[in-house]
């Protein structure tokens, strides 16, 4: 019998390094009480969402910001690195996983990040795509609960049965994020393609090699014009 196509998504990769010792241990601890793949997927999602603080003040030209084991070791990262970690931890737990991307408009950020980007469009916003109970389900572990509470945004939950991509509105009914363009799904992080687009769209940010400061403290709930 031939191997199922999903089995290839259990293999370690350059950025989704599910064979790294810290990733394997993180995955083992997070899923220690889970009884099935649904439970494992939910436990891993919540663990990545909360264990790694969302921080876009990173050097997006540095491959370390995209590699699961290094994001876990740093304890901070932005959406691409956190999705990479979720995919790696899922593979380590025996749950097939890949990473997906889309361009989104994000109305909630920090003034300094908006200035550096020159736009509220975030290219290559990332999620993990997990194969659970015979189907692919999308999960975005980017925004930790404390940041969501500060911004007045509902914490994004994941039930491993339906897609969980982003919060369209905050608790006041204001637009939070909106989907613009699907960039597809990948076996591993397409670092070269992402960086090439970032050089085109965010030259000022790349010239700074990231921003310094505390994004969690500086993030604002009001729309930045």
| pLDDT tens track for 64-96 | 999 999 999 999 999 999 999 999 999 999 999
Does the pLDDT value for residue 218 go beyond 50? yes
Residue 50 lies in a domain: yes
Does the pLDDT value for residue 223 go beyond 90? no
Residue 146 lies in a domain: yes
Domain, as residue range, for 119: 15-212
Residue 93 lies in a domain: yes
For position 41, which CATH number holds?
A: 3.10.620
Residue 3 lies in a domain: no
Q: Which helix (H) or strand (E) holds 200?
A: helix 191-201
- pTM for the full model? 0.92
Indicate the SS3 state at residue 164: strand
Residue 8 lies in a domain: no
Q: What integer pLDDT is reported at residue 154 of this predicted model?
A: 82
Please provide residue 180's backbone torsions phi and psi, each rounded to the nearest 5 degrees.
-115, -50
Q: What confidence category does residue 169 fall into, taking pLDDT thresholds of 50, 70 and 90?
A: very low
Does the pLDDT value for residue 225 go beyond 70? no
CA proximity to 128, closest of 162, 170, 80: 80
CA proximity to 93, closest of 48, 26, 157: 26
What is the arithmetic mean of pLDDT over 11-17? 98
| pLDDT tens track for 201-216 | 999 989 998 888 899 8
How many structural domains comprise the chain?
1
Which has the higher per-residue pLDDT, 180 or 196? 196
Residue 4 lies in a domain: no
Residue 7 lies in a domain: no
Residue 79 lies in a domain: yes
């Amino acid at each position: 019998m031939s191997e199922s196509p999903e089995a290839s998504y259990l293999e370690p990769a350059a950025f989704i390094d599910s064979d790294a010792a810290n990733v394997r241990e993180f995955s083992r601890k997070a899923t220690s009480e889970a009884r099935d793949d649904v439970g494992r997927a939910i436990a891993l999602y919540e663990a990545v969402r909360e264990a790694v603080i969302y921080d876009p003040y990173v050097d997006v030209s540095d491959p370390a910001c995209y590699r699961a084991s290094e994001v876990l070791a740093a304890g901070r990262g932005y959406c691409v690195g956190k999705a990479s970690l979720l995919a790696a931890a899922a593979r380590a737990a025996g749950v097939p996983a890949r990473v997906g991307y889309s361009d989104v408009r994000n109305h909630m950020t920090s003034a300094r990040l908006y200035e550096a980007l020159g736009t509220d469009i975030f290219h290559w916003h990332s999620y993990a795509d997990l194969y659970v109970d015979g189907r692919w389900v999308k999960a975005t572990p980017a925004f930790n609960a404390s940041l969501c509470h500060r911004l007045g945004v509902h914490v994004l939950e994941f039930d491993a049965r339906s897609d969980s991509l982003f919060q369209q509105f905050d608790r006041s009914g204001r637009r939070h994020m909106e989907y613009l363009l699907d960039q597809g799904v990948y076996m591993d992080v397409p670092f070269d393609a992402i960086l090439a687009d970032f050089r085109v769209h965010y030259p000022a940010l790349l010239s700074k090699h990231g921003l310094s400061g505390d994004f969690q403290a500086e993030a604002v709930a009001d729309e930045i014009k």
